[in-house]
Structure 1
């Protein structure tokens, strides 16, 4: 995750399209199923009680928890970097020249200073070493972004950060103040992001509980029907109607999640003028193999199981119980 100066949070969003299916209503009435020749097949009701695994939601929770831990690690690293920079003695005013000016050429110049171990003021080398030992030392950071220290400074704290250091060849009072302030801003942005991810984890937990409740009732209905010895046709019709109600609950769960997607816990700045209402979920889930909208995918899977059960129950009715 990257944050740029002046924005609440800017994210590097991977390109990934969601694999989500719609949660549709039962496609036929009980009468249509009963009179459909292809539906009149032998069915063993006891075999329909398998538990839905909810893998999409559980994988999403694991992804969110892992990302939240990484974000908190980055927050701590930027806080430590800010503290180290603030503790340095700035160069005397007569040894410094420009303030932050935004020129990109300074990134390469700062790269040479960072890589050579020579040239420039010792304060500058200490700044670069502090960044290396804090932010760049995070296990995931270098592998994920594959940037040099000055490139990362430019991406996280603004392109003029590395430029000013390279232009002055030392650490001016203005550069020190700006680096400290921007690093603290980066830490605050990550705190906000970690809170938003925490809210999403809570939402996933609630969704999993609601889905589990629907699935538990679905299985109990089938188990009940399997144990009925008299008037199995009447019992099957009653179970079919209750399954229809459960699918309606699935549709409502999907609608609730859609409303939540329209009001994400954070609306990140994509940093390029883009406007994506789903940017938070793209950031969180877009880089993996799972669906971009795991709750909707999970609701769809459960609704399909409910419909399959209803079709099989209808087949039992067509056979006269």
Structure 2
């Protein structure tokens, strides 16, 4: 996540397509899943650390994006306060003329950028850019050149800086909306998985040794697990819908999806889907063990 460029971080997050298995059909996602365990236990029916890690990195990224948004807001206010003479050149962004006051104003703009955008706590760790690189990536090469190499801070240049700073702030506000939706989705998934855990634990805690159980009792266990499997598959479908909804407004196909952007440094790109898929695979392994036990008792 740290080494992605600005455009990938802030714009064009692509839609995703997932294959969700129903009933006894397979569930496929682009990551490995654990196999069914050799004996029936509810210890594996707890949400994996994927969700904890996902929440942590998402909250950290939200703080950073909000800090950057506020920095661009402060930068724009500082630029707005810089006066320009109305009789200066109003044509294309210019580099000559303007005298001492023009270069002084440009220096003021550059200092304002350093003190706001480049002064956020995570700037060095996440970007490690010099002034020219940062201005070019946040705005464009032409504006960066005008601010660094020009001689005049014209009304046109001032307005262009304000427009670009506002766009940078708004892009982060848009990203924050997506991050907030993702945090809500993570918490909802965690709650639903905990509810599943409690339900299965209550039903199966007194009945751990399968070989000593009758066939009717084993059928009852299988029915409990089948209900949990159905609930997990519904959670997968709901999460798929949420991912599509979260990414629909970031639909440029050349850019990463929101989850890819957030979870690039984690072991899995889609932590909720990975967690629930592991759960389903575990349940199916346990159900196979129950059916084998019933077969052996006949």
Q: TM-score, structure 2 length as denominator?
A: 0.78
2:257 counterpart residue number: 279
1:71 counterpart residue number: 65
Give the aligned CA root-mean-square deviation in angstroms.
3.6
Would you say the 8 A contact 1:199–1:265 is kept in 2?
no
| 1:97-246 correspondence to structure 2 within 5 Å | 98-100=91-93, 121-166=103-148, 168-226=150-208, 232-246=214-228
Distance 2:12 2:71 in 1: 18
Could you tell which deviates more after superposition, 218-227 or 170-179? 218-227
SS of structure 1 residue aligned to 2:68? helix
Structure 2 CA distance for partners of 1:215 and 1:239, relative to 1, 3 Å: same
Deviation (angstroms), 1:188 = 2.0
Deviation (angstroms), 1:174 = 1.3
Deviation (angstroms), 1:232 = 3.4
1:56 counterpart residue number: 50
Q: Select the structure of larger CA radius of gyration.
A: 1
Would you say the 8 A contact 2:13–2:255 is kept in 1?
no
**Structure 2: runs of 5 or more not aligned:** 27-37
1:39 counterpart residue number: none
Distance 1:167 1:136 in 2: 19
Name which structure has the greater RCO, CA cutoff 8 Å, separation 6+: 2
> Is 2:267 aligned against 1:290?
yes
Deviation (angstroms), 1:248 = 2.1
Distance 1:268 1:181 in 2: 21
Would you say the 8 A contact 2:102–2:153 is kept in 1?
no
1:299 counterpart residue number: 276
1:190-243 CA distance string (max 9 Å, x none): 122112210111011111111222222222332142499x96331111111221
1:241-297 CA distance string (max 9 Å, x none): 22122212222221222222222256337xxxx515862222222x21321111111
Would you say the 8 A contact 1:124–1:170 is kept in 2?
yes
Distance 1:142 1:268 in 2: 27
Q: TM-score, structure 1 length as denominator?
A: 0.73
Would you say the 8 A contact 2:45–2:279 is kept in 1?
no
Would you say the 8 A contact 2:20–2:237 is kept in 1?
no
Distance 1:58 1:98 in 2: 54
SS of structure 2 residue aligned to 1:121? helix
Would you say the 8 A contact 1:54–1:298 is kept in 2?
yes
Would you say the 8 A contact 1:22–1:300 is kept in 2?
no
Distance 1:183 1:151 in 2: 16
